[in-house]
Amino acid sequence: MESNSPLKLNRRQFLVSSALTAGGIISTNLVAKSQVFAQAPAIITSDNMRPGIPYGVACGDITNDNITIWSRSDRPARMLVEYSTSESFRRVQRVLGSYALKDNDFTARLNLNNLPPGQQIFYRVIFQDLDYKNTYSAPVTGTFRTPPVYGRDIFFVWGGDTAGQGWGINPDFGGMKIYETMRQLNPDFFIHSGDNIYADGPIQSEVTLDDGTIWRNITTEEKSKVAETLTEFRGNYKYNLLDENVKKFNAEVPILAQWDDHEVTNNWYPGEILPNDDDRYQVKDVNLLAARGRQAFLEYMPIRYKNTDKAEIYRSFKYGPLLEIFMLDERSYKGPNSPNNQSVQSKETEFLSNKQVQWLKKQLQKSKATWKVIASDMPLGLIVRDGSTDFEAWANGDGPALGRELELADLLRYIKNKNIPNVVWLTADVHYAAAHYYDPAKAQFTDFKPFWEFVAGPLNSGTFGPNQLENTFGPQLVFQSIPSDTKANRPPTEGLQFFGTVKINSYTKVMTVTLRNLVGETLYSVDLPPEK
């Protein structure tokens, strides 16, 4: 097997390789043994002559020694990435990335691997014009830290629900400033727990608040209606990237992204047909909407994949010896929303699917990490309704495990029987923050180990809740961030925006989970000692 170490180049060299790709990742292990060197990119004095990078850079899917770098050109171009452990880019290494073409909306990505552990890595993205090969973009820089082997605490943030319910980018408010609050905490990475966009939530130029003042949004053509075409789904991601807080955050914090419903349409499930009287949609086939939404999600999030058709949204990431993260996909395989009261498992009761459950069981059992974090875009014990009779998430009300809860019961029983320690669930979706302790002594279904679930969000969306907890798995409300009489869809101006942080002490291995508000103030915090 050929070495996958990139070449160490001086500033007057660049790498040309015949290993090309039109869509997925070009990894550093695709660099051929026979390389051709040329002079460094020509100096271009006019910015309009060179490719532009309008939406900045991002990185994600970080694991022990590799990461995915993402960006977008404004024209057909080839991505180049230079990276170094020095901010001055001494001993720079350069690797070719994928083509930014019309078919992928000029997005491009590259997988960097064999990275040194416990290091701050600095990178810059450059695009080479495909029509004028000596023309290169100005570089755009980013940075990230690789996971530690030992001796350094782990610190990360999570949350969900970005730009929902009509609350978009308001320059008068400071834009999506919760992203700046999170960035200033200098986290190792960020778990976005779904609803990265609101494809079903148009953004209007003005919204009148309860006190008569006006909330003013930046608007775009693609965000003026619900997304139906691929162009409109892509436009939702581009809209969020107009926010300077988001772009600055993306350039400094690796993203682990999962999707929920609003990446397509509210409460969607495979095979759904939208009602004829829903005049917002000309396209009624949710499978078609989901295919377009999925393509845009994969194009615009820094996710590692080789082929969009075969890419799985559920995946896991090892982050040193103390942590492994398991990202679930609770959309692609779920059965239809229903009263959710079936007594026997079937296709109708699937939420993760048998395939994904078996994958999760296997990954959990073989994990050697101290802490296993399961990122679930939907909460376990909170009731999330779809209409008056149907349910959207796991929970279906008090009583024994039924419907989708049978799948969850099977998973929780497995974790107990295999004695898998230190499993913590992180979630979002309900637009407020909460801490729940699941106690089998107070549950209807009792065959599981006690565990914690923490809820965070929204991130620049309307605040809702709180939702009702059911007793099937014995969740105890330890904390919630809003009073029970909170009005629906509170604007970001009221400050009811929430995210969570997790710190794992490298010496004691204690996990500290903290729920914070818009300005980063601590609302609740708990220390979780690891099981022996």
Name the DSSP class of 34: S
Instruction: Check residue 310 and give its pLDDT.
Output: 79
Q: What average pLDDT does the segment 170-185 reach?
A: 98
Q: Confirm if 12 and 30 have CB atoms less than 8 A apart.
A: no
478 phi, psi to nearest 5 deg: -95, -35
**Token pair listed for 166:** 């009509």
Instruction: Check residue 309 and give its pLDDT.
Output: 77
Instruction: Check residue 116 and give its pLDDT.
Output: 95
Q: What average pLDDT does the segment 236-258 reach?
A: 98
Amino acid at 293: G
Q: What average pLDDT does the segment 275-282 reach?
A: 96
Instruction: Check residue 4 and give its pLDDT.
Output: 37
**Token pair listed for 143:** 């940075």
Q: pLDDT per residue over 498-517, tens digit each? A: 999 999 999 999 999 999 99
Instruction: Check residue 2 and give its pLDDT.
Output: 28
CA 257 to chain centre: 2
Amino acid at 262: H
**Token pair listed for 231:** 């162009």
Confidence of residue 315 (pLDDT cuts 50, 70, 90): very high
DSSP 156-224: EEEE--BS-TT----TTTTSSTHHHHHHHT--S-EEEES-SS-TT----SEEE-TTS-EEE----SGGG
Q: Confirm if 116 and 91 have CB atoms less than 8 A apart.
A: no
Q: 281 in helix, strand or coil?
A: coil
Instruction: Check residue 135 and give its pLDDT.
Output: 95
Instruction: Mean pLDDT check: name the lowest of 10-24, 148-162, 197-211.
Output: 10-24
Taking the C-alpha atoms of residue 138 and residue 44, their distance in angstroms, rounded to an integer, is: 9
Amino acid at 374: I
Taking the C-alpha atoms of residue 236 and residue 262, their distance in angstroms, rounded to an integer, is: 11
Name the residue with higher pLDDT: 426 or 46. 426
Q: Confirm if 156 and 185 have CB atoms less than 8 A apart.
A: no
Q: Confirm if 81 and 125 have CB atoms less than 8 A apart.
A: yes
Q: 246 in helix, strand or coil?
A: helix
**Token pair listed for 39:** 């002079």
Instruction: Check residue 46 and give its pLDDT.
Output: 64
Taking the C-alpha atoms of residue 516 and residue 497, their distance in angstroms, rounded to an integer, is: 9
Q: Confirm if 209 and 166 have CB atoms less than 8 A apart.
A: no
Taking the C-alpha atoms of residue 101 and residue 78, their distance in angstroms, rounded to an integer, is: 9
Confidence of residue 155 (pLDDT cuts 50, 70, 90): very high
Q: How many CB atoms lie within 10 A of CB 282?
A: 10
Q: Confirm if 127 and 79 have CB atoms less than 8 A apart.
A: yes
Q: Confirm if 28 and 111 have CB atoms less than 8 A apart.
A: yes
Taking the C-alpha atoms of residue 23 and residue 299, their distance in angstroms, rounded to an integer, is: 9
Q: pLDDT per residue over 358-407, tens digit each? A: 999 999 999 999 999 999 999 999 999 999 999 999 999 999 999 999 99
Confidence of residue 193 (pLDDT cuts 50, 70, 90): very high
**Token pair listed for 458:** 């929204």
Instruction: Check residue 27 and give its pLDDT.
Output: 42
Q: How many CB atoms lie within 10 A of CB 488?
A: 10
Q: pLDDT per residue over 449-463, tens digit each? A: 999 999 999 999 999
Taking the C-alpha atoms of residue 386 and residue 393, their distance in angstroms, rounded to an integer, is: 9
Amino acid at 377: D
Taking the C-alpha atoms of residue 285 and residue 287, their distance in angstroms, rounded to an integer, is: 5
Angle between helices 405-417 and 354-366 (to 10 degrees): 20
Taking the C-alpha atoms of residue 222 and residue 232, their distance in angstroms, rounded to an integer, is: 5
242 bridge partner residues: none
pLDDT for residue 30 is more than 90: no
pLDDT for residue 431 is more than 90: yes
Fold held by 14-145 = Immunoglobulin-like (2.60.40)
Least Cα distance to 357 among 410, 310, 404, 405 occurs for: 410
**Token pair listed for 479:** 């904390």
pLDDT for residue 472 is more than 60: yes
Taking the C-alpha atoms of residue 368 and residue 241, their distance in angstroms, rounded to an integer, is: 37
Instruction: Check residue 311 and give its pLDDT.
Output: 87
Taking the C-alpha atoms of residue 408 and residue 394, their distance in angstroms, rounded to an integer, is: 8
257 bridge partner residues: 192
Least Cα distance to 476 among 440, 508, 503 occurs for: 440
Domain edges within the chain: 14-145, 154-528
Computed over every residue of the chain, the mean pLDDT equals 91
R_g (Cα) of the chain, nearest Å: 23
Confidence of residue 93 (pLDDT cuts 50, 70, 90): very high
pLDDT for residue 28 is more than 50: no
Triad 258, 264, 265: Cα angle to 5°: 120
Instruction: Check residue 336 and give its pLDDT.
Output: 97
CATH annotation of 154-528: 3.60.21.70
Taking the C-alpha atoms of residue 179 and residue 159, their distance in angstroms, rounded to an integer, is: 10
Triad 302, 303, 305: Cα angle to 5°: 135
